[in-house]
Chains A and B, each alone.
Chain A
Amino acid sequence: MPTSRKLGRGVAMVGAGMSRFGAFAGKNSRDLFVEAFKEIKKSVDKELDPSLIETLYIGNFSSDQFEHQAHIAPLLADAVGLLPRPATRVEDACASGGVALRQGVMAIASGLYDVVLVGGAEKMTALNTAAVTEALATAADVPYEIPAGFTFPGFYAAMASAYMHRYGMKSKHLMNVAIKNHDNAALNPNAQFGMTIQNWMEGRIASAVKKGKPKPTWSTIWDFLHDESGNPTVAWPLRLFDCSPITDGAAAILLVAEERAHEFTDHPIHIIGSGQASDSALHGRPGLTTIPAAKIAASQAYEMAGVTRDDIRIAEVHDCFTIAEVIASEDLGFFAPGEGFKAAEDGMTARNGAKPINTSGGLKAKGHPVGASGVAQAVEVWKQMRGQAEARQVEMDIPLALTHNVGATGSTCVVHVYERRN
């Protein structure tokens, strides 16, 4: 296995922006990327001259299936006026955005480019839920996993079953992750679900009353979350509120060679660690309560950055399902194996906890436009590290942060470490 190496030269993030995440009829991935690009321009402290951008890397899982449009990278470059610059689509399932970011880092570190736009975009809601589920399932090992009837909620549910068996977790423990991520998303104006689960439950009760239907008897969110009519089982033990939604959205960040960062801002965020690993289909792994590629990617990123897990103040992790956040918090070394669900229950991963995770609301509540998610994680880190996260800003100082982006059940994982130096 290749050992961790150093970047050929330093890389800094000098701008970051995202579209709103949600379901937007009449907007395709190109329209959403234009919105993200406008936001990135606003985010650059010293005015951005777009003609300085030399190349684009675009994370996108499956515009082919979702909007019957392949080859979107040059179309997105054209839409934001960046022709004839090379534009490359990067696909590694749900890790497409994080891997696009890594391509951008490597392009600068190699010396080939000084100014790189990394984007991610996915338009998912043009298809119905069944069609989206099938499109996502193509990220699995199709000939060997799909005939078993597996869906993506099913894969993560199977991991949850193994975790529950090994560590004694109950499905109710996973709900703490959903509650926390909705609490965070309620403070994020770009989130698909800008509401707490309490808000959600009250909305459901009000809607039933308005329609003259029997009034649900939920008095607390726990009643709601345990009730099959409020929170139906999707793939046991996972219920609806354990799953990230189907989302339209785009995100973009601007990376530059470190020595040129001052042209764009006096407060850059340096990307000092990058790691990536691959793995087999889920059934090919010796254990199902951890994602080995995440551990490898994290150790590479920590080693390159010269930091340890304890130095990381906040992390945006790939919570496509609640169990995925629990496992991520262990794979990254924040908590011991079997302790992640307890940490979530104890509030350690809340915004005011010792190790805040997914202050943005995560994939769970901010939304999960697949190819954009890995880039949107970097957007949140940018805002939190620079004190620009408004109502959801964590109180502690954040000199170091991390993003963790997973493709499929962990066949790809990519981890980045970010540093603020002033």
Chain B
Amino acid sequence: MSEETTTVRPFTSAAFDQFIAEHKLMASRCIKCGESYVPPRAICPKCHSEEMEWVETSGKGKLAAFTVIYSGPTFMVEQGFDRKNPYVSGIVELEEGARMSARITGVDPTKPNEIKIDSPMTVDFVEFGEGDEKKTYLAFRMV
């Protein structure tokens, strides 16, 4: 993917998801004031500029909050999660300052007291399904 084709994509959730499928966590950055946003925004809420560009984040951050979910939505149940096999969801604060909801990997869901807020995290991508059905989910792995 050339720099040119990544920057002309619209600032939509579909474009963000397309980047996730390519294993890229992208932010939209305001060309005018330099603030960057994950999830992406088409209009800068800080200076109201409409001139934005896509930039790839460092993918590094720290854990801000988390939970171990024992009763998840249907798509998580289809991926094998249930009361006997819970999963971790959380919010990660990126080095760039933005925060994002993501699945949390590299931790033991049965030992929540050992999962420490402020732990360093690095971006990860979880895939489920095959072929056209394949879906990629944003995750962060505990370093």
Contacts and interface: CB of A to CB of B under 8 A. Distances in A.
B5 to A, nearest CB: 22
Given A158-B89, A158-B91, A146 B73 contact: yes
A137 B73 contact: yes
Given A158-B89, A162-B117, A149 B72 contact: yes
B39 A148 contact: no
Nearest to A239: B70
Interface string B45-67: 00000000000000000001111
Given A143-B13, A154-B89, A282-B91, A149 B69 contact: yes
Interface in B97-143: 99-103, 112, 117-118, 137-138
A288 B73 contact: no
Contacts of B71: 129-130, 133, 151, 153, 234-235
Contacts of A154: 67, 69, 89
B42 interface: no
A413 B86 CA distance: 31
Contacts of B72: 149, 151
Interface string A252-282: 0000000000000000000000000000011
B103 A148 contact: yes
A298 to B, nearest CB: 23
A357 B100 CA distance: 33
Contact of A283 (B77, B101, B103): B101
Counting contact residues on chain A (CB < 8 A from B), the size range is 35 or more
Contacts of B112: 236-237
Contact of A151 (B64, B73, B90, B91): B73
The A contact surface, by secondary structure, is: helix
Contacts of B103: 147-149
A153 B89 CA distance: 11
B124 to A, nearest CB: 12
A409 B93 CA distance: 18
A149 B17 CA distance: 15
Interface string A148-163: 1111011101111110
Contact of A145 (B70, B74, B101, B117): B101
B117 A161 contact: yes
A150 to B, nearest CB: 5
B68 A148 contact: no
Which of A137, A233, A235, A236 has the most chain B CB within a 10 Å cutoff?
A: A236
Given A134-B73, A148-B89, A288-B91, A161 B101 contact: no
B33 interface: no
Contacts of A215: none
Contacts of A85: none
A284 B45 CA distance: 12
Contacts of B66: 158, 161
A237 B74 CA distance: 22
Contacts of A147: 101, 103, 137-138
Interface string A123-148: 00000011001100100010111111
A149 B89 contact: yes
A27 interface: no
B31 interface: no
A77 B81 CA distance: 44
Contacts of B68: 157, 233, 235-236
A232 interface: yes
Interface in A204-241: 232-238
17 contacts: A129-B71, A144-B13, A144-B16, A144-B100, A145-B101, A149-B81, A150-B101, A151-B69, A153-B69, A154-B67, A162-B64, A165-B117, A234-B71, A236-B69, A236-B70, A236-B86, A285-B99
Interface of A: 129-130, 133-134, 137, 141, 143-151, 153-155, 157-162, 165, 232-238, 281-285, 288
Of all A-B residue pairs in the complex, the 7 with the closest CB atoms, nearest first, are A157-B67, A143-B13, A236-B68, A148-B101, A158-B65, A162-B65, A165-B117
